[in-house]
Structure 1
C-alpha cells in the first residue's frame, strides 16, 4: 500500500465505546478531584469552579487533540490503521498523592488553603519537567526495560486507585450499578451485539440513568438547582502562585521524582 492510496478514517468501529468510556472516566475523576479540593484542602469554591476546573477543561481539549494528531501521524508514517491515540485526562494516583501527601500537610500546618494550592501547583510543575525530560530518554528506557516491569506498575496502580474505589462505591447503589456492570461485561468480554448496534457505553449510561430516575435515586429539584450554577469561566494566567510554591520545592521532590519517572517511559 503506497502513501498516496492510504486512507485513514476519522471514526471506526469501537470509537464510540471508547468515547463514552474515556468521557465517563474523566467525568468521575473531575468529580473526585473537585470533592478533594473542596472537602479536604478547603479551597474556596470560586477558585475550584472558576480557576481549577476551567483550566483543566482547556488542557483536556488540548491534550486529547494533540494525542490524536500524534496517533494519526504515526499511522500515516507506518501505513497502519490499528493505531490508537493514548487517552488523556487527570491521573488518579497523582491526584490522590498531591492532595494527601503535598497539599493536606501544608494546609494543616498553615491553615491556608491557598498556600496548599500553590504547593500543589509547584509539585505539578516539577512533574511536568520530569515528564518532559522523559519524552527524550523514555524510548531508551523502554528499549532496555522488560515490558512486564513497566506494565506491572501501571496494572498495580490501576487496580488500587481506579478499579477498587468504584467497585466499593457500587455497593452504595447496587441496584443501579449491578445491571450496568452486567451490560459492560457482556459488551466488552463477549461477541454478543446489543440490539440495533447500540454502543455498550451508551447503553450502560441510558440503563443506569433510567433505573436511577425511575427508582427515585435522582432528584429533579437538585438537578435544576445544579443547572442554575452552570456558568462560563475562562482560565487566567497566574504565575505568582506557581512562584510561591516553588520557593520551597525541595520537600516536593521526594514524591515528584519517583512518580515522574514512572510516567516518563510511557511518553
Structure 2
C-alpha cells in the first residue's frame, strides 16, 4: 500500500476514546483536589489557580506530541488504522503525590510555624520541584530504561507499585468513598459491573462516563432530599478564571524540600520509565510500532514542562492503547483530550468541573484502578515469583499505618514521640519499627522482592547483592529512615535510639547477605525445576 499523505484527523471511534481519556484525567485531578482540600485542609485557590493549569499543560503537550507521532506513523506505513498512544496523569504516582508528598508536606510546614498561605506556596514549590526531578530522571533513563528492566525482575517493578495500589490507592480511597456509603458503594458496584463483569448498559456510552455521571447525580439528589451523608454541602459557584501557566523558577525554591521525599520520587520516575517500555511493547503487539525511546522522551518532556509551569502531577502513556484501538480511536482522540484538558485547565473549566465532582464518586474510580493494577501485576509476574511480590506489599502497610498514626487528629505528636521511644523489653519499640519499615517503602519493596525472586531462581549471589544495596541505602536513611518524615542523613550524626534502630536494620541486611553468600558456595544439584526456570 502506498504511503498516505493525509490520514484523517477524526473518525467516529475518536469520540469514545476522547470520553474515556478525559474521564480518566478528570478523575485523577478530582482526587488530587479532594485529597488536598478535603483531607489536608489545603487552600483550594492554590490547587485550582496554581497547581492545575501547569498540570493540565503537561497533558496538552504530551498528547499533542503523541498525536503527531501517530500521524507520522500512519503516513510512513500507509495505514489508516494507527492509534495514538494515550497520555494522561499517572494514577498511582499522582495519588501518591497527593497523599504521601504534598499533603504531609503541607502539614509539616504548618507544624514548623508557617501560616497557611506560606505553607501552601512552599508545598506548591515542592510539587513543581518534584516533577522536575522526576522528569530529569525519566529523561536520563529514556536512554537506559531497558537496562533497568533487565537488572530488576518484573516482580520487583510491578510488585512495588501493586503494594501502593492495593494498600494506599485501594484501601484509603475506599474509606473515603464509604464516608458517603450509598453513593460510594453504588458507584463502585456500577464500575465493577461495566468494567469487570463486562455488563451491558441501556445507553451506548463509555461505562466509566456513565458511572461518573450517575454517581454525581445520585450524590446531589440525595443531598437535595436531605438524605446526603453528614457534611453534605453544595459547592460554591465559581467564575471562570483565565490562568496562563507561564514558566517559573519557583521549582528552584522547592528543590531543597524534595530531599526527604527522594525515596518516593525516584521510584515514581523509574516506574514511569518501566511503564513506558511496557506500553510501547503493548502497542507494538497491537500493530503500531512506535519507537520506545521516542515514547519515553515525550513523556519526560511533558512532565518537565508541567513542573516548570507549576504542575504537580506527572504524565505517562497509558497501558490501554490496544483498548482504544478496539474502540476505533485513531489520532483525533488524543488531540481532543489534550486541547480539552489543556485549554480547559487554563480557562478554569477543568477546575470548575472538578469542584462539582464529589469524593464519594471519584474514590471508587481510584479503587477500581488499584484493583486493576494489582491484578495486572499478578498476571504479568511469573507464578514462581508471586510470593516474593506479596512480601513486597508489607512495607506499604507499614507506611499506611505511619500516615494514620502520624495524623495529629489520631495521635498527638508528643504521644507519638513517646510511642516511638517506648520499649517493652522485647526488642526495638514497635512504633519505631513501623515508621522505619514504612519510610522508603517503594525501594524497600523492590529490594525485598528482587532478593527473594533471585533466591527462588537459585541465584543466591545476586540476592546477596540486592541485600548489600539495601544495607547501604538503609545506612543513609534512603530506606528505613529513623526520622518520622523519612529524611535522609549521615549515619554518624545519629545518636541514642535512632542510631540503634538504624544500625539494627543495616546489620539485618548485611547478615542475611553474608549468609546467602556462604550458602551460594554449596554445590547445587540440577533439579527438574531448573529447566522450567531456564525456559
- TM-score, L = length of structure 1: 0.73
| Structure having the higher Rg | 2
Question: 1:202 aligned to 179, 198, 209, which one?
Answer: 209
Question: 1:264 aligned to 273, 277, 282, which one?
Answer: 273
Cα gap change, 1:190 to 1:74, in 2 (>3 Å)? farther
Q: Does 2:147 align with 1:140?
A: yes
2:240 is paired with a residue whose SS is coil
- TM-score, L = length of structure 2: 0.41
Q: Which residue of 1 aligns with 2:499?
A: none
Task: Answer whether contact 1:75 1:81 (CA < 8 A) is retained.
Answer: yes
Q: Which residue of 1 aligns with 2:28?
A: 29
Mapped partners of 1:208, 1:99: distance in 2: 28
Aligned pairs for 1:1-267 within 5 A? 10=10, 16=16, 19-38=18-37, 44-70=43-69, 85-89=85-89, 91-100=94-103, 102-111=105-114, 112-113=118-119, 114-143=121-150, 145-216=152-223, 226-239=236-249, 241-246=250-255, 250-267=259-276
Gaps of 5+ in 2: 227-232, 277-535
- Shift of residue 126, structure 1, vs aligned partner: 1.5
- Shift of residue 92, structure 1, vs aligned partner: 1.5
Cα gap change, 1:88 to 1:161, in 2 (>3 Å)? farther
2:178 is paired with a residue whose SS is helix
Mapped partners of 1:254, 1:189: distance in 2: 34
| CA RMSD, 1 decimal | 3.8
Task: Answer whether contact 1:41 1:99 (CA < 8 A) is retained.
Answer: no
Mapped partners of 2:42, 2:175: distance in 1: 27
1:177 is paired with a residue whose SS is helix
- Shift of residue 228, structure 1, vs aligned partner: 3.4
**Could you give the per-residue CA deviations for residues 227-253 of structure 1, whole angstroms, max 9, x where no partner exists?**
3343222223321x2222235665454
Equivalent pairs counted in the alignment come to: 262
Mapped partners of 1:166, 1:96: distance in 2: 10
Task: Answer whether contact 1:37 1:43 (CA < 8 A) is retained.
Answer: yes
**Could you give the per-residue CA deviations for residues 30-70 of structure 1, whole angstroms, max 9, x where no partner exists?**
23433555567766544333222222222222233334444
Higher relative contact order at CA 8 Å, sep ≥6: structure 1 or structure 2? Answer: 1
| Greater fraction of residues in helix | 1
Task: Answer whether contact 1:121 1:242 (CA < 8 A) is retained.
Answer: yes
Mapped partners of 1:8, 1:143: distance in 2: 39
Mapped partners of 1:211, 1:40: distance in 2: 22
Cα gap change, 1:2 to 1:164, in 2 (>3 Å)? farther
Mapped partners of 2:154, 2:15: distance in 1: 26
Cα gap change, 1:252 to 1:167, in 2 (>3 Å)? closer
Cα gap change, 1:196 to 1:109, in 2 (>3 Å)? closer
Mapped partners of 1:182, 1:40: distance in 2: 24
Task: Answer whether contact 1:8 1:76 (CA < 8 A) is retained.
Answer: no
Mapped partners of 1:227, 1:178: distance in 2: 27
Cα gap change, 1:177 to 1:102, in 2 (>3 Å)? closer
Cα gap change, 1:233 to 1:195, in 2 (>3 Å)? same
Mapped partners of 1:39, 1:174: distance in 2: 17
- Shift of residue 133, structure 1, vs aligned partner: 1.1
Mapped partners of 1:133, 1:84: distance in 2: 24
Gaps of 5+ in 1: none
1:228 is paired with a residue whose SS is coil
Mapped partners of 1:199, 1:218: distance in 2: 29
Mapped partners of 2:203, 2:39: distance in 1: 45
- Shift of residue 89, structure 1, vs aligned partner: 1.0
Mapped partners of 1:166, 1:252: distance in 2: 22
